[in-house]
Amino acid sequence: MKIGLFGGSFDPVHCGHLLVAQAALEELGLDGIVFIPAAQSPFKAGCMPTAPTVRLRLLRLALAGRPEFQVEPLELERGGISYTIDTVDHLTRLYPGAELLWLIGADHVATLPLWREAARLAALVEFVVIPRPGFDKVEPPNGFRFHWLHGWPLGVSSSLIRERAALGQSLNQMVPEAVAAAILSEKLYQGSATR
């Protein structure tokens, strides 16, 4: 079993995230991808994310009908700051014998040496890096192992989605239809443009 682990705030999930997952699935022949929404990212300490229930619901809407894409709420249940090493330790026990690959966008490469227990993390998992507009293809930091994918680089971010939702602008083609409909009907991200 070869499983992709995809952590993030997913606040909200958008088509860039889905293309990351699709690229990893196809290019590495993964058996599945587990989306792991963070309770609180260590790199976004000053920002209060949207309620876990909302982010989880939108994620489930986005992944509906794709059994190879699963959602694992363990970081939300654990609460506090979400450290990848804790999650990897947990999932290593949950999927004994599986090859675990941690997916990141190219913007996260430079931060890797700052992740908690970086050396142990680098020894435990290989990283899969998906290009993101504005971020060059660089060598892995010391000790880290990478697969660089081709993907389909897309300049969409959750910040952009929050900004557009707050301004009442269309989210069409940037998030799945069901996610756009939920954001609109539940009036989500109305006052969060600057987060």
Interface residues toward ligand ATP, by CB under 6 A? 8-11, 16-17, 20, 104-105, 107-108, 130, 132, 154, 156-159
Q: How far is CA 8 from CA 1, 17, 41, 184, in A?
A: 23, 9, 7, 23
Q: Toward ligand ATP, which CB reaches closer, 8 or 176?
A: 8
CB of 158 to ligand ATP, least distance (A): 3
Q: Contact, 6 vs 103, CB < 8 A?
A: yes
Q: Toward ligand ATP, which CB reaches closer, 87 or 158?
A: 158
Q: Toward ligand ATP, which CB reaches closer, 82 or 96?
A: 82
Q: Toward ligand ATP, which CB reaches closer, 17 or 164?
A: 17
Nearest by Cα to 110 from 149, 136, 84, 148: 136
CB of 97 to ligand ATP, least distance (A): 26
Q: Toward ligand ATP, which CB reaches closer, 9 or 97?
A: 9
CB of 78 to ligand ATP, least distance (A): 17
CB of 120 to ligand ATP, least distance (A): 20
95-130 in b/e burial notation, b at 16+ Cβ within 10 A?
eeeeebbbbbbbebbeebeebeebeebbeebebbbb
Q: Contact, 18 vs 26, CB < 8 A?
A: no
CB of 93 to ligand ATP, least distance (A): 23
CB of 156 to ligand ATP, least distance (A): 5
DSSP string spanning 16-83? Answer: HHHHHHHHHHHHHT-SEEEEEE-SS-GGGTT--PPPHHHHHHHHHHHHTT-TTEEE-THHHHH-SS--
Q: Toward ligand ATP, which CB reaches closer, 130 or 182?
A: 130
